[in-house]
């Protein structure tokens, strides 16, 4: 009985066991196929690679953007130039049609005063002076009167005409005779305060006994004043001379500085073209102040015209390009016909120009920077060839990996170096 039981039970357990193993395998296969842990790991690697690529792209874009938007370029340029030893004759005129360069003149005046001590006693004699109106009721024709013609007051005081005068003849208007008249200066015949008088009528003693006496006459327009005889303290001649010389020594530099501020843009002055006129000193009525008036007049030369003229004369291949002349101050410019020159009537002048200077070609930096804006490096040489004013150029970029010039021309810096002139090249 025991074997039978054993035999009946074993097959049943085997079937159950097989079914259990089958279910377990199905669960394991399902688990292997949809295992969450292994799936997350694979996707993580993909995301990391994608993120790395994105970061690299962002960095690359940032660097490109930085180089494009925030880059700088610096260009050191040596301009074409040439050292010159000048010895030229140049004609300058107000009329550019008949000369190589144009000129102007500028003129100004100033006064300088200084006190002076009055230490010497001196008698001062002054004659009374004033304006009078001369009348002609005698004739319709003008009447000529010479200087020093006498005029007499009713009190018998004699005054004289200071200069020749012509008194117009009378006119008849509406049946009424209107005397001709003119204003002139009369002066007392002798000094003294007793000739200081108010408004008076005057006769002309020279016409006594003729029809002109009383019909050609004068009347005061102003009181006659200033007559005196008195002892006063005045400066000595030596003090006047010293003070006058001192004023002149101060006046000339003051005039020179003042005219330097009056030079128009684009013009220059030169020392041989400066003319001074210092008037005689005037002593004040008080006798303690000496004043002198000075006038300065200067010839002005057009710098651009002079520079181009020199370039044409000294540089064979010069083709009227914009140029600058370095060393104007070192040139000696002399007027050849100065002895016969009258500054007030100056129309043209012949100049001799001698000395060392340098011609430097002028670069339009703004145009050059605009031409380079956003330009690829490879095209730089082509642009450079269009600017003949450039002798050599050295360029640097920030950052150094930039492929183009900055799009903003303000980020392109141009520095002009003058070594070309120093080396005497062109």
Task: With a cut of 80, say whether residue 22 has pLDDT above it.
Answer: no
Give yes or no for a contact between 144 and 169, defined as CB atoms under 8 angstroms apart: no
Residue ranges in 34-162 assigned as alpha helix (H): 36-69
| Burial environment of residue 276 by CB neighbours within 10 A (0 to 12, 13 to 18, 19 or more) | middle
Domain edges within the chain: 2-64, 121-231
Average pLDDT, the chain: 84
In this predicted model, what pLDDT tens digit does every residue of 183-238 receive, in sequence order?
Answer: 999 999 999 999 999 999 999 999 999 999 999 999 999 999 999 999 888 899 99
pLDDT at residue number 220: 97
Instruction: Report pTM.
Output: 0.58
Banded model confidence at residue 24, pLDDT cuts 50, 70, 90: low
Supply the DSSP symbol for 285.
Answer: T
Query: For position 43, what pLDDT does the model report?
Result: 65
Residue 40 has pLDDT above 80, yes or no: no
Other CB atoms within a 10 A radius of the CB of residue 82 amount to 20
Helix, coil or strand: residue 172? strand
What's the CA gap between 66 and 59, in Å, rounded?
10
The three-class DSSP label of residue 389 is coil
On the CB side of 36, CA atoms within 13 Å amount to 0
In eight-state DSSP terms, residue 368 is H
DSSP state of 264: P
């Amino acid at each position: 009985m025991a074997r039978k039981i054993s035999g009946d039970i074993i097959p049943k357990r085997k079937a159950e066991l097989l079914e259990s193993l089958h279910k377990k395998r199905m669960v394991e296969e399902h688990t292997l196929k949809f295992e969450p842990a292994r799936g997350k790991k694979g996707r993580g690697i993909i995301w990391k690679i994608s993120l790395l690529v994105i970061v690299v792209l962002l960095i690359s874009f940032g660097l490109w953007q930085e180089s494009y938007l925030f880059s700088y370029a610096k260009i050191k340029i040596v301009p074409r130039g040439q050292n010159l030893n000048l010895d030229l004759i140049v004609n300058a005129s107000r009329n550019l049609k008949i000369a190589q360069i144009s000129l102007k003149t500028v003129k100004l005046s100033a006064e300088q005063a200084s006190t002076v001590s009055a230490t010497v006693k001196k008698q001062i004699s002054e004659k009374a002076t004033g304006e009078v109106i001369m009348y002609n009721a005698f004739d319709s024709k003008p009447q000529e009167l010479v200087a020093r013609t006498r005029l007499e007051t009713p009190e018998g005081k004699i005054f004289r005409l200071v200069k020749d005068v012509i008194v117009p003849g009378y006119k008849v208007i509406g049946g009424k005779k209107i005397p001709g008249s003119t204003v002139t200066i009369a002066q007392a015949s002798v000094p003294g305060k007793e000739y200081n008088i108010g408004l008076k009528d005057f006769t002309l003693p020279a016409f006594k006994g003729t029809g002109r006496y009383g019909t050609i006459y004068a009347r005061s327009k102003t009181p006659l004043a200033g007559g005196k005889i008195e002892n006063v303290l005045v400066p000595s001649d030596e003090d006047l001379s010293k003070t006058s010389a001192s004023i002149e020594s101060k006046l000339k530099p003051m005039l020179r500085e003042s005219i330097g501020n009056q030079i128009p843009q684009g013009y220059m002055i030169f020392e041989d073209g400066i003319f001074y006129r210092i008037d005689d000193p005037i002593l004040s009525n008080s006798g303690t102040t000496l004043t002198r008036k000075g006038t300065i007049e200067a010839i002005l030369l057009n710098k651009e015209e002079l520079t181009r003229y020199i370039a044409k004369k000294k540089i064979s291949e010069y083709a009227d390009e914009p140029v600058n002349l370095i060393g104007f101050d070192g040139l000696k410019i002399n007027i050849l016909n100065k002895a016969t020159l009258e500054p007030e009537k100056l129309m043209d002048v012949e100049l001799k120009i001698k000395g060392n200077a340098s011609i430097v070609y002028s670069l339009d930096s703004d145009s050059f920077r605009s031409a380079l804006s956003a330009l690829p490096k490879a095209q730089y040489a082509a642009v450079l060839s269009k600017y003949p004013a450039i002798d050599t150029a050295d360029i640097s970029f920030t950052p150094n990996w930039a492929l183009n010039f900055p799009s903003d021309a303000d980020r392109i810096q141009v520095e002009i170096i003058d070594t070309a002139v120093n080396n005497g090249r062109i």
